[in-house]
Amino acid sequence: MSVRDDQIVRELSHYLHEHPADTMALLPVYDAARDHSQRRACTHGRRCPVVVTGAVVLDERHRVLCLRHEGGYALAEAEPEDADDSLFMELVEYDVVLSNLHGPHGEDGRLQGLLDYLRVPYCGSGVGASAVAADKILCKRLMLTLGVPAPGWHRLVRWSGTGTP
């Protein structure tokens, strides 16, 4: 079951309105909430939870909420100050990881290495292929070595401002 983003935002807004002191709410941010929590730069005086993403949870009405990375929704990892059993949430068991990450840590072999280490099955390229593909120059050199045609290219490096660029 999928839930449209605007529905999630409305439901989160309603939830936060109805439960203003609850620290177990879903937060519509990722890195900012984590950094805010770890640096204790709070202006509201309440405890801030550490957040994690990448999970799928069921809410008290058994609706599926996907927690995404950038601009997504993150589940508070820490327990609230006063446990409230009426807010039933559980992590859903999984069969395989379908990674949809871009950039460092997601497609350069690091995540794949972690999943291999944890023996978690995943879709997509493995550690080596991901690492080579993330390094564009290495990938082009490898393709040329294997006889695969590649367009011409030049490597540009930052000029320090001294000598000839």
The answer to whether residue 139 sits within a structural domain is: yes
The answer to whether residue 53 sits within a structural domain is: yes
Six token digits for residue 75: 């589940």
The last residue of a domain, from among 91, 108, 138: 91
142 secondary structure, DSSP code:
H
Angle between helices 110-117 and 127-134 (to 10 degrees): 170
**With contact defined as beta carbons under 8 Å apart, do 122 and 115 qualify?**
yes
Predicted pLDDT at 119: 81
| Residues 99, 85 share a domain | no
Predicted pLDDT at 18: 67
Predicted pLDDT at 62: 45
Query: Cα dihedral angle (105, 111, 112, 116), rounded to 10 degrees?
Result: 150
Residues spanned by the domain of 76: 5-91
Residues of the chain with pLDDT under 70: 1-94, 164-165
Residue 146: phi and psi, rounded to 5, are -85, 0
The answer to whether residue 161 sits within a structural domain is: no
Predicted pLDDT at 2: 37
Predicted pLDDT at 157: 75
Q: What is the pLDDT of residues 71-118, one digit of tens each?
A: 444 444 444 455 444 444 444 566 788 777 777 777 888 888 888 887
The answer to whether residue 128 sits within a structural domain is: yes
Predicted pLDDT at 114: 82
The answer to whether residue 159 sits within a structural domain is: no
Predicted pLDDT at 26: 42
Predicted pLDDT at 147: 92
Number of independent structural domains in the chain: 2
| Residues 125, 74 share a domain | no
The last residue of a domain, from among 91, 106, 138: 91
Predicted pLDDT at 21: 54
